Amino acid sequence: MTSGWIEQLLPVLIGFNALVILYFLILNSAYLLTSVFAFRALRRYANRLESVAVDELLNDRVLPPVTVLAPAYNEAVNCVESVRALLGLRYPDYEVLVVNDGSTDETLERLREAFELRRVPRAPTAELPTAEVRGVYRSTTHPRLWVIDKENGGKADALNAGLALCRTPLFCAIDADTLIERDALIRISRPFLEDARTVAAGGIIRIANGSTVESGRVTGIRLPRKLIARFQVLEYLRAFLSARMGWDALDATLVISGAFGMFRRPTVVDAGGYATDTVGEDMELVVRLHRHCREREIPYRIRFVPDPVAWTECPESLRVLGRQRDRWQRGLMESLWRHRVMLFNRRYGRIGWLAFPYFFLLEMIGPVIEALGYVAFVVTILLGRASPSYVVAFLLLAVVFGIALSIAAVALEELSFRRYTQGGDLAALLGLSFVETIGYRQLNTWWRFRGVISKLRGVRSWGIMDRQGFESGAAASEPSPSPTESHR
């Protein structure tokens, strides 16, 4: 009886195994192609950087005014240091608007004490619905710093509150716990100077865990001490230098990290600001900007810029990291499903025919195929029905190909920006390329699969992320848990 049931199941299992092999082939081939495009684009970008120096842009005074929007919820651990870094940016004309989104810790008090805030009036420039604004404050010691205190409404609502009070043609949205480098605003503004059609640009996010932070600035770059954080360094290199740089070369950027992106304010306001009914407001905005401009026949560009750097603290526990990846997957699904009309729709150009199908089929549905594929692989072996060719193909595409792509990402880092100058760090990254594929990748797949289930169940929560605080000098700060909204 059992044998007969297995025989009936076998054709389904074999067919699904073939689908899994096809999935890995298409997914890794896409990664390989974006890596190739990224390599060529990074070389061209490096050559262009040699022709224009940052100081020349400052001296020519051609840079447009910018407002930095930093939503903050229970960021007492890092908020003062992060704001100090923002006030030390090299940019001729900018303001910093920190939006305290109803924090229940001492975020507002620490900002008030550190920067001597005074309550002042500020007229709105746009009408966007938000939770009640309780007060607007300005620093008496740093006039470019403003703090908006409001009722809790979530990250998107906080960004809309800042956007409604923004006075400049461009705004830069960051996370309050993010440290952006001194020249980052100058570098990320370049696409807006070079092409008037640019409506959005994203920079690269790097992991600050393990590095030394002094006066709100990363001064000593090292790999994190904990293995779970080191894996994320490798992930971020793949995601930004390989994937996003490659998609930018194809003029098909669909994701800008909520931790660091610059936007043209009038276009975002016309598109309706940030959506408050999704946990993936950063991706949803970018997808909607594509749709908004295409449907109204507005010439536009959305770019990724690889050298303006924002540093962030990543999760160092599996529990917190799992919640983060669950939420990222839910945000991805919400954004893509909401704009599913773009799928294979020639009205939306390369986005509709290339980028959107990739994210819809491989990033949204992919975790389900991959998670069940690992189960099917084990079951097939246990049943004794795994042919040598199937086992080799699975391991080659799921493991060996993944190792090669991680090594390629490390190579792109080494050939382009070389942030990890210690020989031991480079060797560790290469070693992680081999270790990560067995164990960590499967965990990540499980978290994303769980995100799919969470979305189907209607889960809406952001979850809690424990902040340890940036390292100052040689000593790490004491752990202090605080709920916050992380980034994609």
User: For the segment 358-386, what is each residue's pLDDT rounded down to a tens digit?
Assistant: 999 999 999 999 999 999 999 999 988 89
Residue that the structure tokens 């946990």 belong to: 279
So where are the chain's domains? 2-25+364-456, 63-359
DSSP string, 151-204: ----HHHHHHHHHHT--SSEEEEE-TT-EE-TTHHHHHHHHHHH-TTEEEEEEE
Q: How far apart are CA 371 and CA 369, in angstroms?
A: 6
Q: Residue 488 above 50 pLDDT?
A: no
At 55-100, the pLDDT tens digits run 666 665 688 999 999 999 998 887 888 898 899 999 999 999 999 9
* Residues 6+ positions from 398 with CB-CB distance below 8 Å: 24, 373, 437
At 457-473, the pLDDT tens digits run 998 877 665 656 666 55
How many residues appear in the chain?
Answer: 488
Confidence of residue 1 (pLDDT cuts 50, 70, 90): very low
Instruction: Assign a CATH topology to domain 63-359.
Output: Spore Coat Polysaccharide Biosynthesis Protein SpsA; Chain A (3.90.550)
The pTM of this model reads: 0.91
Q: What is the DSSP letter of 346?
A: G
